[in-house]
Structure 1
Amino acid sequence: MAEDLTLASTERRRPPTGTGTGTGSRPRYVYLLLALVPAALVLAVLRFGAEIAGLDGGSGGASGGAAGKAPAASGTFAALLLALPVILLVCHLTAGLFRRMGQPAVIGEIVAGVLLGPSLLGLLWPSGHDLLFPAELSGPVGILAQLGLVCFMFVVGYELDIGEVRGRGQAVLAISHVGVAVPLLAGALLALGMYGSYAPDGLGFTPFGLFIAVAMSITAFPVLARIIAERRPGELRVGGIALSCAAVGDVTAWCLLAVVVATAAGSSPAGVVWILVLTALFCALLHFAVRPLLRRMLNGTRQARGTSVLPVLFSAILLCALATEEIGIHAIFGPFLLGAVTPRGSAPLEWALGRLRSVTETLLLPLFFVFSGMRTSVGLLDGRQAWLWCLAIVVVATAAKWGSTTLAARGCGMGREDSMALGALMNCRGLTELVVLNVGLDLGVITPTVFTMFVIMALVSTVLTAPALTLVRRRYAGT
């Protein structure tokens, strides 16, 4: 029995087969025969194939094609990898700076786009601007910016609470539509004077005048919501009314912009009507078919399966963008309408929306700001006349929006302080104005010079919002 135990322990201590001195050289032979020899044969096959291709005369064409395409694509990708960190860091820094100044972060991001564009960086350091943003980079940046834009428009539509608008009655409808109608009239009158000098060549007055009018009537609902959220509770009594008015006004403005897009496409009156009919059918499809499907899917999705909502949501956003693009009213309208009909209150949807919003606001929207900044060149305002027109746009836009909203609110029975505060809030244009302006520039309805003038107007009117609210509160603090 002791011998058996001794034998067993000896066998346990014995080295495994193949690790002794007699078999230690086997792995070397295996490596040599099965790794090094095939690698050497690969090199030989490649050399032999290259010689055959050279004899056939195919080497020059093939290598020339590869040499002509690969470096260009590689250079564009490398330029994008260099530009993205600069864009994100500059947007982050300027957003933080403006937040400390009491302004919404989006203003800093818009300013970052202007600073990185030809207005400042291109003017002070042309070689650095060309290094960071070469001409071939505009295509990829533009595509990513448009992708961010359609995702952002879904968020805008989702944040519009139509139920809250219904609950505030006729006063909201009256105030919001007065705040749209008067700036529309002011913009149309302003377009009469601008048309001869600043309209694109060959463009009729109708699309130009319509677009200037719509651009004057915009209120930035997302930026407005953030300004109100950053105020202390109880400090702003008209916050809910302002959000309701902005929601109604934005829906009205987007409908008018759809008419502008259809008109600018050169469609006949019957063609414009047909586009509007297709748009109405698309809205009905979303409300009566897509909305119930989304509600059924969300109700049947557990919170643990929230990850399955995100790809479905993103696919729906892209398909709706494609649908409205094919209809002829622009890709931004589809996601906006989808967001407006999407059911609220689902935990999986909120989880997916949080991920979508984080990617959009952190990465894609800064690209949109810089893309807009690339198209903004203050140097185009090269004379006294251009600067006077820019000043006129700022003054007319502010007076028309703020004044008309204040008067309408007073007419509906609101007090002076609340009416003035509501007018200041509705004058906020921000990011929504940039979206509209980019649509107009892409359609060829406005020139880069007019685009720059309205970008300046959007910045000034939005920057004025927070200080104007403070001044109104102080003015009526003792009354």
Structure 2
Amino acid sequence: MAAPADPLPDLLIAIPVVILLCKAGARLVRGAGQPPVVGEIAVGLLLGPSFLGWLWPEAQAWLFPPASLPYLGLLGNLGLLIFMFLVGHELQLGSLRSQTRTAAVVSLVSIALPLGLGTLLALGMYGAFAPEGVERLPFVLFIAVAMSITAFPVMARILSDRGMYRTRVGVLALACAAFDDVAAWCLLAAVVAVSTAGSPMEAVTTALSAVAFCLFMVVAVRPLLARLTDRAGRTSTDSLVLVLLFSGLCLSALATDLIGVHALFGAFLFGAVTPRGSRVIEHQTARLRAFAVPVLLPLFFVTTGLRADVGLLATDPAQWLWAGAVLAVAVLAKWGGGTGAARLSGQSWRDAMSIGTLMNCRGLTELIVLNVGLGLGVIGQDLFTILVLMALITTAVTSPVLNRLRKGMPEEEPPAGGRADGEGAEEAAAAGAVGAGAAGGRITS
């Protein structure tokens, strides 16, 4: 029996090609005023069956031979775990305690309305798109959550590029997105628990186990990390902190995976409880970011592109009608809900529409959720492709629409320590929320 071929030579070709093309795509779209993630998603789709596999299938088979795909996926998922750790760490949860009434209302509406409309959409799509054997409840819940996503890191990058992240509108949008980000991962964890549980009792057990693990992380792990990193900072053992952080995020991811709420949730939670403000912690998270985001994360984009196939939609006009319906519901629910709630809370029409536009940005966060759904078998490749296209379009239109809305309008920072909109101290919320990507050197996808 012949030994299986060594995938290493194939990986040594595919990895640099993917990294360099994603970097080129990011630079290209940045020149057009788009966040880098738009170019990276587009490159992933172009390298998949939607373009390269259709135009030149031999080239795609040579670049991504079947034996190498599992290894590319593993490396991409490792980058994704590090990314989720960084999102959790850089999302200052303390900022959520300083929400104003406007931020709370906009956040709740921009989650509740997509959940409601997404549920109605999913009920109509179940017969046509649910994979065989998937029950109605997990399918409906997943689509509802997918409609409610806002990409907090991408939004922060857009606001940073425009110099808006410390303005009144930028602060409010970031505060709303911070709340949405936490709520989205909690909702996704619940959907995974329902999807993987064999009975209602198993789902309840999974949920209780997840809550207990969260409490353990906050009560026991967080103080322990603070002591360990403080000691490491005094003894200048920075490399030990890097090992602790990477090992901790892996073990936390393993714990939540065993519980049944997906490994990504554990990495995010470990990042959230990792102490902030420590020089040694910030230095080591920067080292993780400097490698994972530009090197490992592009592999996730290409594996996503390899899973999506626009050709599946081309043969059936009804598929494109459903794709239009998904896009319409996504925009109406997020943009419409955010705009309406902000307007009813006293914002001007221009500011309200700006907030709604930003809340409609989905980016990498949506791709993460979609890959979880595809991995669980809750959605099939056809619906996965439709939802990836929706994520790309809603992310790509954010910057142009925002530019149009803010054209000729001076952006003013809220008064320090003051009440920027008469309702609360949103500047305090910005100081924490911006940590997930607004400032230079932070997460940019």
The two structures have a TM-score, normalised by structure 2, of 0.89
The CA distance in 1 between the partners of 2:148 and 2:307, in whole Å, is: 22
Distance change >3 Å, CA 342–CA 170, structure 1 → 2: farther
Offset, 1:415:
2.0
Q: Is the 8 A contact 2:150 2:366 kept in 1?
A: yes
Q: How far apart in 1 are the matches of 2:223 and 2:197?
A: 36
1:14-54 deviation per Cα after TM superposition (whole angstroms, max 9, x unaligned)? xxxxxxxxxxxxxxxxxxxxxxxxxxxxxxxxxxxxxxxxx
Structure 1 residues 235 and 280: CA distance shift in structure 2, 3 A: closer
State how 1:68-147 maps to structure 2 within 5 Å.
Answer: 68-69=2-3, 72-74=4-6, 76-147=7-78
Question: Deviations 1:306-341 (Å, cap 9, x if unpaired)?
Answer: 222101100000000000000001000001011112
Q: Give 2:322's aligned amino acid.
A: W
Q: Matches of 2:197 and 2:237 in 1, distance apart?
A: 47
Cα distance between partner residues in 2 of 1:377 and 1:236: 40
Structure 2 counterpart of 1:397: 330
- Deviation digits for residues 223-257 of structure 1 (CA, Å, limit 9, x no counterpart): 11111111125895311211111111121121111
Q: Following the alignment from structure 1 to structure 2, what is the Cα–Cα distance between the partners of residues 162 and 441? A: 29
C-alpha separation between the residues in 1 aligned to 2:58 and 2:5?
Answer: 21
- The answer for the alignment partner of 1:330 in structure 2 is 262
Please identify, of 423-432 and 236-245, the stretch whose mean Cα deviation from structure 2 is larger: 236-245
How does 1:444-463 map onto structure 2 within 5 Å? 444-463=377-396
Q: Does 1:376 align with 2:308?
A: yes
1:367 aligned residue = 299
Q: Distance in 2 between matches of 1:204 and 1:77?
A: 40
Equivalent positions of 1:40-439 (< 5 A) are 68-69=2-3, 72-74=4-6, 76-232=7-163, 236-302=167-233, 304-381=236-313, 382-439=315-372
User: CA separation in 2, counterparts of 1:173 and 1:258?
Assistant: 22
- Cα deviation for residue 475 of structure 1 reads 8.4
Q: In the alignment, is the contact (CA less than 8 A) between 2:361 and 2:398 conserved in 1? A: yes
CA contact (8 A) 1:417 1:476 kept: no
Q: Distance in 2 between matches of 1:95 and 1:427?
A: 20
CA contact (8 A) 1:156 1:336 kept: yes
Partners of 2:242 and 2:302 lie apart in 1 by: 27
The 1-side partners of 2:100 and 2:301 are apart by 36
Instruction: State the alpha-carbon separation in 2 of the partners of residues 366 and 392 from structure 1.
Output: 29
Q: Tell whether the 8 Å contact from 1:307 to 1:348 is kept in structure 2 after alignment.
A: no
- Partner Cα separation in structure 1 for residue 266 and residue 307 of structure 2: 25
Aligned residues: 408
Q: Answer yes or no: is the 8 Å Cα contact 1:199–1:208 preserved in 2.
A: yes
Question: How has the CA–CA distance of structure 1 residues 465 and 178 changed in structure 2, closer, same or farther, with 3 Å as cutoff?
Answer: same
Q: Write the distance in 1 (CA, Å) between the matches of 2:223 and 2:292.
A: 26
SS at match of 1:224: helix
- Do the aligned partners of 2:309 and 2:385 also contact (CA within 8 Å) in 1? yes
Give the deviation of 1:476 after TM superposition.
Answer: 7.0
Q: Does the aligned pair in 2 maintain the 1:380–1:449 contact within 8 Å?
A: yes
Distance in 1 between residues matched to 2:408 and 2:128, nearest whole Å:
41
Of residues 304-313 and 90-99 in structure 1, the stretch that sits farther from structure 2 once superposed is: 304-313
Amino acid in the other structure paired with 2:359 = M
Say if 1:345 and 1:234 are closer, same or farther in 2 by CA, change over 3 A: closer
* 2:427 match: none
Aligned position for 1:45: none
Structure 2 gap segments, 5+ residues each: 411-445
- C-alpha displacement of 1:138: 1.4
Deviations 1:152-185 (A, max 9, x none): 1101111211122211233322211110110011
Unaligned runs of 5+ in 1: 1-63
The amino acid of 1:378's aligned partner reads V
SS at 1:455's partner residue?
helix
Q: 1:373-413 CA distances to partner (integer Å, 9 max, x unpaired)?
A: 00010001021100111111111101110111111112222
2:213 counterpart letter in structure 1: F
Alpha-carbon distance between aligned partners in 2 of 1:421 and 1:390, rounded to the nearest angstrom: 25
Q: Could you tell me how far 1:300 is from its partner in structure 2?
A: 2.1
**What is the rounded CA distance, in whole Å, between the counterparts of 1:406 and 1:153 in structure 2?**
28
Shift, 1:301, TM fit: 2.5
Output the CA distance in 1 between the equivalents of 2:140 and 2:85. 28
The SS at the match of 1:238 is: helix
Equivalent pairs: percent with the same residue?
50
Counterpart of 2:179 in 1: which secondary structure? Answer: helix
| Equivalent residues of 1:178, 1:405 under 8 A apart | yes
CA–CA distance in 1 between the matches of 2:305 and 2:66? Answer: 14
Q: Which residue of 1 aligns with 2:440?
A: none
Quote the Cα distance in structure 1 between the aligned partners of 2:298 and 2:164: 30
| 1-structure distance, mates of 2:260, 2:233 | 38
Q: Matched residue of 2:263: which SS?
A: coil
- The answer as to whether partners of 1:157 and 1:336 remain within 8 angstroms in 2 is yes
Distance 1:243 1:259 in 2: 24
Which structure has the bigger radius of gyration?
Answer: 1
The answer as to whether partners of 1:372 and 1:438 remain within 8 angstroms in 2 is yes
